[in-house]
Amino acid sequence: MFSQFKMKPDKSQSELATVISQMMPGVLQMIPGLQWAAMCPSTDASTIASLARWNSRDDFESLGQKPGFDQETSYWQDYANNEHGLYDVVQVIR
């Protein structure tokens, strides 16, 4: 999964990055099927990109049903608008 958190006006990218950093260890333990996640703040402070590896689409979709990740209680809603999409990895280049 690839997500982009587009920062709202007058909101701090570093504050959202701190929230994400504090939440992720617990999320990795709490959510079945989430293998890993990487956070990538943009150099212009306008966006935080997140890349995550899931076991299945069903595992990813179950996340949106959990408090803090649904539309009404999402942890990022005070800081940013979230855009995410699912992509297939067809090749890893090393």
Element spanning 30, H or E: helix 13-30
Give the tens place of pLDDT for each residue, 10-49.
Answer: 999 999 999 888 888 888 888 888 898 899 999 999 999 9
pLDDT above 90: residue 57 = no
Q: Write down all domains in the chain, each with its CATH number in brackets.
A: 2-85 (3.30.70.100)
Instruction: Assess contact for 91 and 24: CB atoms under 8 A.
Output: no
φ and ψ at 84, to 5 degrees? -140, 160
This prediction has a pTM of: 0.79
Give the tens place of pLDDT for each residue, 66-90.
Answer: 777 777 778 888 899 888 777 777 8
Mean pLDDT of 47-54: 90
